[in-house]
Amino acid sequence: MASNDNSHAYWRATLGLLTKILAIWFLVSFGAGILFADLLNHIHLGGYPLGFWFAQQGSIYVFIALIFYYAKKMNDIDRKFDVHED
């Protein structure tokens, strides 16, 4: 029974992390690149409107950062629930 509770807690933590990362991914790609592009275009970054920058380059940087964040947090979760690989 304790093993079953532990596996449910592990998957709950994993799905919580995935939910947060996918929400950020959605907000950056769809939100900043499309929905809020007109509002963000009033701000310039490197001579380009910020909405355009997010749609073209900024979202890629955020996605790469999310990959590294996911790997780090999943390692932390794996160690917490003792399912890590060494």
3-17 pLDDT, tens per residue? 788 899 999 999 999
pLDDT, tens digit, 9 for 90 and up, residues 28-60: 888 888 888 889 889 988 888 888 888 888 889
**Cα dihedral 34, 40, 43, 47 in deg (nearest 10):** 0
Task: Quote the pTM value.
Answer: 0.80
Domain ranges of the chain: 2-80
- The count of other CB atoms within 10 Å of the CB of residue 45 is 14
